[in-house]
Structure 1
Amino acid sequence: MAFPATARKRRLLAAAFIGSAALLSACGSGEDPADGAAESSAASEPAAGASESAAALPEPDLADIPEVVAVVNGTEIGRDIFTTTYEGQFQQAASSAQASGQELDQAQLRTTVADNLVSTELLRQEAEKRGIEASPEALTAATDKLLESSQLGSEEELRAAFAEQGLDDAAFDQQLSDQVKLDALIAEEAGDTAPTDQEIQDTYDAAVAQQESSGETATPIPPLEDVRAQIEEQLSGEKLSAAAQTLIAELREGADITVNL
């Protein structure tokens, strides 16, 4: 699905800002990877009236956001970074709420965004404490990922997109470096995240059994060999997420955190 340029740039900024904190919710969707593969072709097609639905989405409520949203061990998290991150997550949250027939709880979303920013700052500080560096190869790989997700054609276009949202080259380089360090920190904590053949088979079998028990067999789950890579990625992500959550819980125990929302 193609997004308008402005929305796409905001999503890019949000991805750079919140970084590995996204791992905190990676296991929370409850969607089996094999199930997701079965539905991917249908999901990729725009639903009738999609533009009308998008137009009906509420506006982000960012009134009364303080200049300093939070302070983590003496480091301030400002309103600008909070606002950009919130806007980057708002559209998806609002669309999901609309699809389920619920009203988006923006107060809860603001709390979640602030909490994720605090978690990201804790991880950033821990990476710095451990002396984790961002290698040129890792920086290049991170840039390539941003290019792929944004569907932009070059690093110059990517930097220009960020610049339009107020992130100059120096700030972009700093954010990218922080992201790489956070990824390295979580990988260090998680260790080997490659799933075993048995874990892959068990996940696939569970997805098949769940579909059969629900009776929703109109779109059968593809054969294991067709979704194996997707299952591997999902299981690896779950292990990274678990490691991130454990580390953040430990860091929060000894941290001085103030949230001003």
Structure 2
Amino acid sequence: MSTARRTGAGRRLLLAAAFITSILVLGGCTGSEGEPEGADASASASGSASASVSAAPGEAQPAPDLEGIPEVVAVVNGTEIGRDLFTDTYEGQFAQASAQAQAAGQEVDQDLLKTTVADNLVSSELLRQEADRRGITATPEGRAAAVDELLQTSGLASEEELKAAFADQGIDDAEFDEQLTDQVKLDTLLAEEAGDTTPTDQEIQEAYDAAKAQQEAGGDTATPIPPLEDVREQIIQQLSGGRTSEAAQALVARLRDDADITVNL
């Protein structure tokens, strides 16, 4: 049986910037429904990868420990996840985890982070395969939406500027398009699986009321929660994202039951 390879051709910054967002959804790293002001998904993931070990004031955080990472980190239904892809993804997540841990006076649990990154890469590969099995393609509309999201995140003004920025980091137009296609197909798959995730007005109100009650119970009056209409869109995104996350986790669980997976860490 032939074996495909998922490598880290170039420095997969698009993976780290946009595609990793979809991967992190699988870990349930969206903010809780009672937090209209939102919780940063990357920070949540980083926090979960931090051990409660205090670092001395001014002590530098350790460098990513990538010693002994095998050439093939995992095999998913015959498709290999290579060391380069794992390394690129791990380094991006370590940078986030390190910043989070340093702010909290902790150090990163690198063993846990490695396991988490490998698990997320396996999950994302299962979803890629499922999207292909269902015949999902990246439509022009989906591609345009993904580019718009990247532009909003990066603060750049056009797709040309975006490609130029990635080219500066070693990602040419062909790889940019390949990774963008992966992103769109994954987004389409998760949208198909989740269905309509739009919350009702009652659910929005309940989430807002729960957040206010939580704040009052915690005695935090210095930063009052803004009026509902000011945070309504954030609540909608949070509740919708939570439902997409739940659908993604359920789909991955089903796919794992029937998958042939080997992790070599």
Query: Normalising by structure 1, what TM-score?
Result: 0.84
Q: Which residue of 1 aligns with 2:72?
A: 68
State whether structure 2 residue 88 is matched by structure 1 residue 116. no
Cα displacement string for residues 32-79 of structure 1 (whole angstroms, at most 9, x for unaligned residues): 432449xxxxxxxxxxxxxxx999333222222111111100001111
Answer yes or no: is the 8 Å Cα contact 2:33–2:235 preserved in 1. no
From the superposition, tell whether residues 58 and 143 of structure 1 become closer, same or farther in structure 2 (CA, over 3 Å). Answer: same
State whether structure 2 residue 204 is matched by structure 1 residue 206. no
Answer yes or no: is the 8 Å Cα contact 2:12–2:171 preserved in 1. no
Identity, % of aligned pairs?
Answer: 69
Over aligned residues, Cα RMSD in angstroms?
Answer: 2.2
What is the Cα deviation at residue 163 of structure 1?
3.1
Q: Which residue of 1 aligns with 2:25?
A: 23
Answer yes or no: is the 8 Å Cα contact 1:18–1:120 preserved in 2. no
Q: Which residue of 1 aligns with 2:81?
A: 77
Q: Which residue of 2 aligns with 1:127?
A: 131
Question: Number of residues paired by the alignment?
Answer: 238
In the alignment, the residues of structure 1 paired with residue 99 and residue 34 of structure 2 have an alpha-carbon distance, to the nearest angstrom, of 21
In the alignment, the residues of structure 2 paired with residue 35 and residue 141 of structure 1 have an alpha-carbon distance, to the nearest angstrom, of 24
In the alignment, the residues of structure 1 paired with residue 115 and residue 94 of structure 2 have an alpha-carbon distance, to the nearest angstrom, of 13
Once structures 1 and 2 are overlaid, which stretch shifts more, 172-181 or 23-32?
A: 23-32
From the superposition, tell whether residues 21 and 54 of structure 1 become closer, same or farther in structure 2 (CA, over 3 Å). Answer: farther
Q: Which residue of 2 aligns with 1:104?
A: 108
Aligned ranges 1:1-261 → 2 under 5 Å: 12-18=14-20, 20-27=22-29, 29-30=31-32, 32-36=34-38, 56-261=60-265
Equivalent position amino acid for 1:83 in 2: T
From the superposition, tell whether residues 169 and 54 of structure 1 become closer, same or farther in structure 2 (CA, over 3 Å). Answer: farther
Equivalent position amino acid for 1:157 in 2: E
In structure 1, stretches of 5+ residues that fail to align are 1-8, 38-52
Answer yes or no: is the 8 Å Cα contact 1:13–1:162 preserved in 2. no
In structure 2, stretches of 5+ residues that fail to align are 1-10, 40-56
The SS at the match of 1:69 is strand
In the alignment, the residues of structure 1 paired with residue 248 and residue 58 of structure 2 have an alpha-carbon distance, to the nearest angstrom, of 33
Cα displacement string for residues 66-95 of structure 1 (whole angstroms, at most 9, x for unaligned residues): 111111000011111111111221222112
In the alignment, the residues of structure 1 paired with residue 110 and residue 69 of structure 2 have an alpha-carbon distance, to the nearest angstrom, of 13
What is the Cα deviation at residue 244 of structure 1?
0.2
Answer yes or no: is the 8 Å Cα contact 1:19–1:179 preserved in 2. no
The SS at the match of 2:108 is coil
What is the Cα deviation at residue 116 of structure 1?
0.5
Equivalent position amino acid for 2:183 in 1: Q
